[in-house]
């Protein structure tokens, strides 16, 4: 996977400092998502993506990350074997075969796995 530099052309983030005019920091306004989009899309363009690839890759990344974060936030605090019990080895042979990797968890490794895949189509 090519390195994806994080663009820093937008200057210091106002998300961590008040703008001095008494307005709320950027994280409390609609400008924060646009500044984040500028960093993400800018990094993809710097990595060599064309405009369509940068825009569509950004959405692919966002949807993947949102889904995984929702799963992590909803993960039970205690072991939950409902999925394991629901999988019938005869009726669902594939889920049964991969069951060890289907439980909630690996929340450090799975984002890297998905992002590596999504970003692997960027120019070398």
Given the rule CB under 8 A, which residues bind a second copy? Answer: 7, 9-10, 30-31, 34-35, 37-42, 45, 51-52, 54-60, 62-64, 66-68, 71, 86-88, 91-95, 97-98, 100-102, 106, 110, 113-114, 116-121
Q: How far is the CB of 17 from a second copy (least distance, A)?
A: 15
> Cα(27)–Cα(6) distance, rounded to whole angstroms?
19
> Cα(67)–Cα(51) distance, rounded to whole angstroms?
25
User: 91 is written with which tokens?
Assistant: 């009726």
Q: How far is the CB of 78 from a second copy (least distance, A)?
A: 21
Cβ contact 45:54 at 8 Å: yes
């Amino acid at each position: 996977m090519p390195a994806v530099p994080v663009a820093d052309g937008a200057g210091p983030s106002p998300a961590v400092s008040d703008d001095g005019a008494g307005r709320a920091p950027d994280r409390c306004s609609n400008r924060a998502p646009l500044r984040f989009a500028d960093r993400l899309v800018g990094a993809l363009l710097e990595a060599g993506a064309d405009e369509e690839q940068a825009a569509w890759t950004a959405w692919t990344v966002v949807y993947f990350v949102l889904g995984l974060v929702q799963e992590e936030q909803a993960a039970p605090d205690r072991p939950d074997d409902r999925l394991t019990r629901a999988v019938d080895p005869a009726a669902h042979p594939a889920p049964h075969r991969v069951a060890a990797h289907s439980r909630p968890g690996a929340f450090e490794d799975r984002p890297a796995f998905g992002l590596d895949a999504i970003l692997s189509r960027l120019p070398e």
